[in-house]
Amino acid sequence: MSKAYEIARERYAALDIDTEKALAQLQDFHLSMHCWQADDVAGFESAADLTGGIQATGNYPGKAGSVDELRADILKAKSLIPGTHRLNLHEIYGEFGSGRVDRDEVGPEHFAGWMQWSRDNNTPLDFNSTSFSHPKSGNLSLSNPDKSIRDFWVEHTIRCRDIADAMGRNQGDACIMNVWVHDGCKDFSVNHMLYREFLKDSLDRIFSEKKANMKDCIEGKVFGIGLESFTVGSHDFYTAYAAKNNKILTIDTGHYHPTESPADKISAVLQFVPELMLHVSRPVRWDSDHVTLMDDPTLELFAEIVRAGAMNRVHYGLDYFDGAINRIGAYVIGSRAAQKCMLRALLEPTALIRKWEAEGETYKVLTYLEEAKSMPWGAVYDEFCERNNVPAGTAYMAEIDRYSAEVTSKR
Ligand code: RNT
Ligand code: ZN
């Protein structure tokens, strides 16, 4: 135990906070690392461009080009992130062999290798259907007025639920499957009602069969690139759908209006939906999917979860894809930042602050919130790293640089 940690433990104890308890809670806090930071959302299905209103920018060398490279990169990143974590896969990351497997033909067999990997590496899997980067993606998938295209995507998503169910069975723990579709319009449309009726109907068909080993979550957003004027799966649409159908709602922190607070949605929607999935990201001016940092919106998000007593009702996915920087570094920075935000939430003297709030002593509420910022939480995080045999502080950079020199730069 380091001297710095011992001092931190005493300082927190004076506020009635048990750092050992916080460390145990942090050990039980599992991120769902998104596989798609490793290769700029390319996947292994085809060489098709990334479409569907999202874009990865940057050309940093060494992105993963095969399933083996992707697995190696994920394991390297995981070795520099304390704790145990999950991996979140998209359908386009299946192992399809040499023949083409279309999206309406995919099955658990294409993820048998991943399930084996999941067991071998103690890394449970989560899953996503993939509506983008395909000749049938267009602007509308599950809400397309053309029934044959709609049916194609319904079939795809039903098959993805089978895959997720197989993953959940394999790992003895529910696989969380996200449905996000890019459907929208670049310009004015007078068919909002029609498209939303189709989307609702498609979702009803997709979710009609109950599955024991997976859970569904649905993700809305404000707009996609090239689809700026209208989004079929808006937040109102999915929040209402999730509340009515008892589905998990996905909150992607990059998907809201700039002054809207994703953190404040936690206690609002948890009154009506069973659980939440997070896509923790960092929007810079728009849904730019920059690497997650320990910034104010993310701190507030995790603080709201802990204050709500909802730690176990939330799944902690990450969702960013920055092709401009070292991709292993991106995983390590973003994952550790999310953990720091959670740790700081766990170390908040909430009971004391609530007492001042109840007494109407607002200046004391602010005093405690302000002082919490300069408490020695960093020493507690370093202790967490050390107990997990992961380098604390900046020491992980040496290993990332070595891996770049020996592995990714040779690709
Ligand atoms: C897009 C959504 C979605 C994707 C991933 C790749 O705006 O955030 O979650 O980022 O599925
Ligand atoms: Zn997302």
- Tell me the CA distances in angstroms from 82 to 251, 282, 323, 333, 393, one per residue in order: 24, 22, 24, 12, 12
> Which residue, judged by its Cα, is nearest atom 3 of ligand 1?
180
Q: What pLDDT is attached to residue 1?
A: 84
Residues with Cβ within 8 Å of 311's Cβ and at least 6 positions away in sequence, in order, are 25, 29, 305
87 alpha carbon – ligand 2 mean position (Å): 14
- Alpha carbon distance 138, 323 (integer Å): 24
Q: Which residues are catalytic?
A: 180, 219, 221, 252, 255, 279, 287, 289, 319
Q: Ligand 1: does its nearest atom lie under 6 Å from the Cβ of 34?
A: no
Q: Ligand 1: does its nearest atom lie under 6 Å from the Cβ of 321?
A: no
Q: Ligand 1: does its nearest atom lie under 6 Å from the Cβ of 223?
A: no
Q: What is the pLDDT of residues 92-109, one digit of tens each?
A: 999 999 889 999 999 999
> Which residue, judged by its Cα, is nearest atom 9 of ligand 1?
180
Average pLDDT over the chain, rounded to whole?
98
| Under-70 pLDDT residues of the chain | none
Closest CA to 31 of 300, 266, 257, 320: 320
Residues with Cβ within 8 Å of 388's Cβ and at least 6 positions away in sequence, in order, are 27, 82, 83
Q: What pLDDT is attached to residue 200?
A: 99
Contact in structure between 85 and 75 (CB atoms under 8 Å): no
362 alpha carbon – ligand 2 mean position (Å): 36
